[in-house]
Amino acid sequence: MLSQLYKSLYRIRRVEEEVAKIYPTDKIKSPVHLSIGQEAVSVGVCEALRADDTVFGSYRSHALYLAKGGNLKTMIAELYGKATGCTKGKGGSMHLIDTDAGVMGTSAVVGTTIPQSVGYAYALKVQQRDSIVASFFGDGAVEEGAFHESMNFAALKKVPIIFICENNLYAIHSHQLARQPMSNICERASAYGMQAERIENNNPIEIHERVKGAADEIRRGESGPRFFECMTYRWMEHVGPNEDFNAGYRSRNQASPWFEKDAVKVLAERLDRDADNPRSQIEAEVEAEIREAFQFAEDSPFPSDEALYTHMFKEELDGAYLNLR
Ligand SMILES: Cc1ncc(C[n+]2csc(CCOP(=O)(O)OP(=O)(O)O)c2C)c(N)n1
Ligand SMILES: [Mg+2]
């Protein structure tokens, strides 16, 4: 379990470090919103999910896509705008999808996947499946009308969904307290009639345990929707490959407690105390996989001009987009 969590965390961190390194060459054709610093949330939650569960996320979803088992090669090809990308080079970093892995989609428009995820979870309930949905969004999305409509409907219909609010304190450069009259997002979620809990400290093991407990209760029909506000911190600029502690809206001092409790570092240290799990082997495997994925993207062709006219309408989409898992 520990080595699995570490592998997932390390893999995501290293993929995004490579993305940041390559970004200035202009090979990557879409903006990138990096999750560096926030990986623990996606990893902790996705380890608590089954392969047949489904996730939805925002434009900051490299971590979610990878933690849920999304294909790394097709993700990198997508960032490169190549025809072999997970949306055939048409969506870029903000619109990742891998239906085989249960990544139903991510969107550039704040809050839009929240009602989609509730609708999907409602369909699962109507069809009496025992798989569930996890819906990821930021603290900024809580200010959207669609968030509140979705909370209301989900609680009313007791749909099998776990809401994961990744509270990194900022929407672009605005602090939460400059945007919201109360800092406690859970209080607002619980006002809709669902159990809502905050998880401090960005600890993947704690996130995993608490979300797993909720997921099991939902599957057994013992709980309606659940809400977790996971406190976390974005290390890089809102969009792009650089740090931005000189931008004036936050300081390196504010970030330093989050650097201290970096989940990748903490789990690496724990793993080193466990002789049965050689970290070097895990890391070597991940590095080889990453090299292969970037090479795949480099070697892949760009979409043809004709591709501009395909996959525009639902009739052309293959069944996987339309069939529930
Ligand atoms: C409906 C909508 N309004 C505004 C924007 C512009 N916008 C892009 S990202 C963002 C901040 C969202 O912050 P948050 O939900 O906390 O996510 P984070 O970037 O911190 O992960 C905003 C306002 C948008 N993309 N969509
Ligand atoms: Mg935020």
Helix (H), strand (E), coil (C) string for 49-117: CCCCCEEEEECCCHHHHHHCCCCHHHHHHHHCCCCCCCCCCCCCCCCCCEHHHCEEEEECCCCCHHHHH
The rounded distance, in Å, linking the Cα atoms of 41 and 207 is 7
**What spacing in Å lies between the alpha carbon of 49 and ligand 1's midpoint?**
26
pLDDT band at 274 (very low <50, low <70, confident <90, very high): confident
Our count of domains for the chain comes to: 1
Compute CA distances 220 → 46, 129, 132, whole Å: 19, 11, 11
Q: Quick one: average pLDDT of 115-130?
A: 97
Kindly report the backbone phi and psi dihedral angles of residue 114, in degrees, each rounded to the nearest multiple of 5, phi listed first. Answer: -70, -55
Q: Given a cut of 80, is residue 320 above it in pLDDT?
A: no
**What spacing in Å lies between the alpha carbon of 111 and ligand 1's midpoint?**
8
CA nearest ligand 1 atom 11, residue: 171
**What spacing in Å lies between the alpha carbon of 36 and ligand 1's midpoint?**
17
Q: Probe ligand 1: pick from 56, 110, 136, 177, max atoms within 8 Å of CB?
A: 110
| 150 found inside a domain | yes
CATH (domain of 72): 3.40.50.970
| 204 found inside a domain | yes
Is the model more confident about 62 or about 314? 62
| 174 found inside a domain | yes
Report the predicted TM-score, pTM, of the whole model to 2 decimal places: 0.96
Q: How many helices (H) and strands (E) does the chain have?
A: 12, 8
| 81 found inside a domain | yes
Q: Given a cut of 70, is residue 175 above it in pLDDT?
A: yes
Range of the domain at 28: 2-304
The rounded distance, in Å, linking the Cα atoms of 219 and 116 is 20
| 317 found inside a domain | no
User: Which residues contact ligand 1 via a Cβ below 6 A?
Assistant: 58, 60, 108-110, 138-141, 168, 170-172, 238
CA nearest ligand 1 atom 21, residue: 138
pLDDT band at 325 (very low <50, low <70, confident <90, very high): very low
Place of tokens 């055939």: 88
* Per-residue b or e along 233-258, where b marks 16 or more CB atoms closer than 10 Å to that residue's CB: bbbbbbeebeebeeeeebeeeebeeb
Q: What is the atom index within ligand 1 of the atom nearest the CA of 168?
A: 20
Torsion of CA 147, 149, 151, 152, to 10 degrees: 160
- Read off the pLDDT of residues 30-89 as tens digits, 9 standing for 90 and up: 999 999 999 999 999 999 999 999 999 999 999 999 999 999 999 999 999 999 999 999
| 10 found inside a domain | yes
**What spacing in Å lies between the alpha carbon of 196 and ligand 2's midpoint?**
18
| 316 found inside a domain | no
| 19 found inside a domain | yes
